[in-house]
Amino acid sequence: MKIAVTGKGGVGKTTITGTLARLLGRDGFRILAIDADPNYNLWSAIGIDEDVASGIEPLLENEELVRAKTDMKWVEVLGNFFQVRPSVDDLTALHAVEGPDNVSLLVAGTVNMGGQGCMCPSAALLKALIGHLSLESDEAFIMDMDAGIENLGRGTTKGMDILLAVVEPGRRSLDTIDRIRGLAADIGLNRVFAIGNKVMNTEDEHFIESILESHNIPLLGIIPYDENIRTADRLATAPIDLDENTPAIQKIRGLKNTILQKLKELDSDERHSEL
Ligand SMILES: Nc1ncnc2c1ncn2[C@@H]1O[C@H](COP(=O)(O)OP(=O)(O)OP(=O)(O)O)[C@@H](O)[C@H]1O
Ligand SMILES: [Mg+2]
């Protein structure tokens, strides 16, 4: 199971990714979480201690080390593609840090901006790692992305089983979703589902529903605005560790079950259509 989480800045991608990772881990999945945001902070939403997080060495910042530490066979083609299929073990052996509930975190890396050139090589490496990652049935991979939609253009979400687009009840956040879907389709990813976050009332809920309906984008679930989520953020604590029964977490728990169900349905539909 490979899940990517996208959306406009500040909509709640990291909060949702970290909480989903913990909940799926509690369900018995072995989770590899990837923070693909150059400004990485998924560690706090997962519940990894700050002192552990401060020792994180982003994967893409030391490509030589990646090569040296793996016995993966590398081939240099237009960037950094490699041949063989890395396993979760290969990746976690690199730079992953262990979090609670069976979740390992791998931080992809920061972008060297300011005249250092584009991030194409890094993106190519990440794309290759993810695209070739081979998962066992009890393993899941979940990726938190940086804000905006350029990352979709870089193709790092290629090969994902599902793309979750987080939206909040505002016009600008909802307007991006159509472009998200278009870019996702360009890389062959048609399973795009929306999640409404920070919903305060039924008016917010209807607003999200009506816009998504007009774009024909399915809504997987709604998460309420919840002060406990903000408090957890201020304390650099995982929301699930602050109060696992706070309304937003309860909704994310329901959402996790919906995602598992949806993936099962989609896979079975695909099998049928192949027959
Ligand atoms: N359901 C919610 N209720 C209240 N606050 C929330 C909720 N979800 C997220 N937040 C708050 O919104 C802020 C942004 O959340 P988060 O960092 O998860 O968003 P993001 O989409 O990952 O942001 P970025 O684009 O910067 O990566 C945080 O302060 C977080 O605590
Ligand atoms: Mg984030």
Choice among 108-112, 145-149, 219-223 with the minimum mean pLDDT: 108-112
Query: What is the pLDDT at residue 73?
Result: 47
Query: What is the pLDDT at residue 81?
Result: 43
In a domain, 90, yes or no: no
Query: Residue 113 above 50 pLDDT?
Result: no
Taking the centre of ligand 2 as the mean of its atom positions, its distance from the CA of residue 8, in whole angstroms, is: 9
Ligand 1 atom having least distance to the Cα of 227? 4
In a domain, 66, yes or no: no
Q: Are strands 139-144 and 30-35 parallel, antiparallel or unpaired?
A: parallel
Taking the centre of ligand 2 as the mean of its atom positions, its distance from the CA of residue 38, in whole angstroms, is: 10
Strand order in the sheet with 103-107: 97-98, 103-107, 30-35, 139-144, 2-7, 162-167, 192-199, 219-224
Ligand with minimal distance to 16 CA: 1
Distance CA 107, CA 95 (A): 8
Please compute the mean of the pLDDT values over residues 57-70 and round it to a whole number.
62
**Six token digits for residue 121:** 């090589």
Share the mean pLDDT of the chain. 83
Amino acid at 122: S
Query: What is the pLDDT at residue 114?
Result: 39
In a domain, 170, yes or no: yes
Ion ligand 2 nearby residues (CB, 5 A): 13-14
Closest residue CA from atom 16 of ligand 1: 12
Ligand with minimal distance to 147 CA: 1
In a domain, 155, yes or no: yes
The domain of 250 spans 2-56+96-112+138-274
Give the domain CATH number at 102: 3.40.50.300
Please compute the mean of the pLDDT values over residues 38-57 and round it to a whole number.
92
Query: What is the pLDDT at residue 120?
Result: 55
Q: Is 225 in the pocket of ligand 1 (CB under 6 A)?
A: yes
In a domain, 130, yes or no: no
Residue partners of 49: CB distance under 8 A and separation at least 6: none
Taking the centre of ligand 1 as the mean of its atom positions, its distance from the CA of residue 258, in whole angstroms, is: 21
pTM: 0.89
Label residue 152 by pLDDT band (50, 70, 90).
confident
Amino acid at 44: S
- Is residue 228 within 8 A of residue 240, CB to CB? The reply is no
- Structural domain count, the chain: 1
- Is residue 94 within 8 A of residue 57, CB to CB? The reply is no
